[in-house]
Each structure stands twice: as C-alpha cells, then as structure tokens.
Amino acid sequence: MNAAALKKNLSRLKERGTIIVNISGFDKRNLRLAGIEEGLL
C-alpha cells in the first residue's frame, strides 16, 4: 500500500487491524501528492 492508498482506505481499517505498506511509496513526493504530513508511519 502506498501513501495515496493508505489515505483513501484508512477509514476502512478495523480496530487492531494490520496495514501492509510499501515504504518506497512513502517518500516526500508521494506524501505531498497524497496530501499527507511526513511522519505518518
């Protein structure tokens, strides 16, 4: 999951759920494009 997908689907996360992310999708550019602040993870 990249930054944009995380932002779009975060509301679907169940309590105590697990998120699998692709850390290469969380660089400064992708965070900026998704409108997410740095340090989300």
**Res 13: pLDDT:** 92
* Segments in the chain below pLDDT 70: 39-41
**Res 19: pLDDT:** 86
- The structural domains of the chain, with segments of one domain joined by +, span 3-34
pTM for the model stands at 0.66
CA 24 from chain centre, in angstroms, equals 11
CA distances from 18 to 10, 11, 32 (A): 11, 13, 24
**Res 14: pLDDT:** 93
Q: Report the mean per-residue pLDDT for the chain.
A: 86
Q: What stretch of H or E contains 34?
A: helix 28-34
Question: What is the DSSP annotation of 1-13?
Answer: --HHHHHHHGGGP
From CA 29, how far away is CA 11, in angstroms rounded?
Answer: 23
Report whether 33 contacts 8 (CB < 8 A).
no
